[in-house]
Each structure stands twice: as C-alpha cells, then as structure tokens.
Chain A
Amino acid sequence: MQPEGNWLLRAPSLRAKQVLLAKIQDEAGHGLYLYSVAETLGISRAEMVEQLHNQEAKYSSIFNYPTLTWADMGAVGWLVDGAAIVNQVSLQRTSYGPYSRGMVRICKEESFHQRQGYEIMVQMAFGTPEQKEMAQDALNRFWEPALMMFGPHDADSVHKNQSMDWKIKRESNDHLRQRFIDRTVPQAEYLGLTIPDVNLKLDPSTGSYTHSPFNWDEFWNVVNGNGPCNQERLDHHKKAHYDNAWVREAAAAYAEKVETSVA
C-alpha cells in the first residue's frame, strides 16, 4: 500500500481518490488477515514487525518499485493485483485452514482492485497521446516485476518441495506465472499497448504464450534488499511504527483505566 499511498493526495478526481482509499484499506486488511493467520501458529504480531524491521522477514519484491505516474495506479491494480489473484486463487485450496479462509476473503476483495486498475488503464490508453504513452510506460516498468511476483523458477525454488508435499502450496511458480501471462496478453491487446517482450508469441499447439528468459539477477537483487525502493519502504514502515508509539501507549493506558473502573 505504500506504492498506492504515493498517489492518494494526487488522485485526478474525487471518485478516483475514494476508490484508491478503499483499495488501500483493503490492502491493510489483507496484511492483517495474514498476520492473524501467522499468529495462530504461535508467533506474536510484535515479533513479526520486529523481524520485518531487522530484515529477517521478507516481503513481496513488488513493493520495492516506485510509482511514478497516475498510470502506475492502473498498472499496479491490473498487473500486480492480477498476478496476486492468480497466486491467491490457487492458495484458496491450501491445506492450512486459517490460511485458506484468509485467501478466500482476499480473493473476493482483490477482484475489485484488478478491475479498478484496468479501468484506469482503459481511460489512459484511450485518452490523449500523452496519456497513452504514460500507460505504455507503466506497462513497460511493471510487466517483469509482476512476473517476478510468482517467485523464482521452479528449479531454484528452495521451499517448493516441502510446501507442495504439505499442500501449503498447490501449484508451482512457473505454472502460475504462465497462467498469468496467458490471461494478461489479450487484455493488453485490447488496450492497444505492447507488452515489453519481443519474443512473446502465442504457441497455437498449447494455447500458451512463449516469452524471453527473465532477468533473474534483477529479481535476486530486489529480493536481497537492493531494489529501487527497499530502503525507503522499510524506513517509512519503521518511522510510522515509532512515530505512532504514543498512540499504542495511550490505548494501553486507557484500556487499563476502563477495565479497573467500577462505574
């Protein structure tokens, strides 16, 4: 939600602002669903926040890319939330009950996000030539990062075997990535935009698109903390956490007072 937060005060209309605000609220909710799921396994949220700040815990590499124009709000909703949905739909069948129930809720909400993103892309792609250029630029910058959201190649996926054996994960990274590509290419065609991969071609025998090899160095670079915004995102999270410590202290003091009061 930090990438979207950048555009909240610069949204081009009241409607766009309302929608973006609702989306950000959903994204905060998705974070909380997942923290709650992890808590059922015995770790506290405070410990997890500490791990995030110490960089012991990882988060999705996609949040480390900047959102430079309003068209990025379209690309993020369309591609980033679109990729997330492909992954999360599959995870609705995960073997861990609380995780599965969280994913069911998340999927219901993500489809609103993807549609609002695509609506922005339609407005930009069919707008002025400058707007169309912005839409193309956003697609150029978010295409590969969105594909990277599915994680490393199956052959390099460290946790794959155990997660698949335990049915925590139901489908492989490469399988899900291909599904996302196959769904998204026709959506880009409708917009009249070009996916930034000269080797993207429909293979009529499989109905799937073939593509160029990915830049995995870029992926590992971002995962290991050296993406364009890693430091900024983490600093912002820490600042918000520490600046608001007084709110948590006040809430704790108030709770103690109301609970011990006789009236």
Chain B
Amino acid sequence: MESGVKVWEVFVQKKSGLPFKHVGSCHGYDKKMAIQNARDLYTRRGEGRELWVVESNAIVSVPLDEADAFFDPGEDKIYRHATFYKIPEGVNHL
C-alpha cells in the first residue's frame, strides 16, 4: 500500500476579484508538490491566475443523512425574507 500520499482539493481563481472555484482534486506528498501538481493538472491553458490546494481531510462537511436536520432551523423563519412584510401602497424604494 502507498503511504504518505494525500488527496488535495483544488480551487482556481480565474481572474483577480473573482471567487475561487473548486475544480477537482489531485495528489501530493507535501504542500509544494500538491500545488505544483494542481498547476500541471488544472491550469495548463491559462485557466487561472491563482490556485489554492487544501488537504481533503481538512474539509468539514455535513453528512448527507443529517443534512435535513442540520439545515432545518433555516427553513421555517419566513420573516427573514423581505417578501414577508406588507408595505402600504404608494410607498416606494423599500
């Protein structure tokens, strides 16, 4: 079995000011190798001007089967939406 190799998630920023976008993953033994492998794999044709790699194990996520309960508090508070409120007719810019 292989030892020491890690999976890294790769994020590419296309242009300055745009958000970083997840593009896939790559392998690497250390940070430097990971970011160089990510460059070689995902930006061979000018796809980005900046790159992030994050160890896959470092990402915290919500297990799929717990997602409903986890996000439940956000579901029933309709007063958080602007459409909940009645505005008198003739009043503008609200």
Residues on A facing B (Cβ under 8 Å): 25-26, 29, 32-33, 36-37, 39-40, 44-46, 98, 101-102, 108-109, 248, 251-256, 258-259
Contact = CB atoms under 8 A, between A and B. Distances in A.
B29 A32 contact: no
Contacts of B30: 251, 254-255, 258-259
B4 A32 contact: no
4 closest Cβ pairs, A-B complex: A252-B4, A255-B30, A251-B29, A255-B29
A238 to B, nearest CB: 15
A39 B5 contact: no
Given A36-B25, A108-B45, A254-B30, 15 more contacts: A29-B44, A32-B26, A33-B24, A36-B24, A39-B7, A46-B2, A98-B24, A101-B23, A248-B4, A248-B5, A248-B29, A251-B4, A251-B33, A252-B29, A255-B4
B1 to A, nearest CB: 6
B29 A29 contact: no
Given A29-B41, A32-B41, A251-B33, A45 B4 contact: no
A254 B4 CA distance: 10
Interface residues of B, number: 18
A231 B86 CA distance: 75
Contacts of A25: 40, 44
Q: Name which of B26, B29, B40 has the most chain A CB atoms within 10 A of its CB.
A: B29
B7 A252 contact: no
A25 B40 CA distance: 9
B27 interface: yes
Contacts, number: 52
B3 interface: yes
A248 B44 contact: no
A39 B25 contact: yes
Nearest to A37: B24
Interface in B11-41: 23-27, 29-30, 33, 40-41
A45 B27 contact: yes
B56 to A, nearest CB: 9
Q: Name which of A36, A45, A101 has the most chain B CB atoms within 10 A of its CB.
A: A36
A259 B1 CA distance: 21
Contacts of B40: 25, 29
B59 to A, nearest CB: 12
A45 B27 CA distance: 9
Contacts of A33: 24, 41
22 contacts: A25-B44, A26-B44, A29-B40, A32-B41, A33-B24, A36-B25, A37-B24, A39-B7, A44-B2, A45-B27, A98-B24, A248-B2, A251-B5, A251-B29, A251-B30, A252-B5, A253-B4, A254-B29, A254-B30, A255-B4, A255-B33, A256-B4
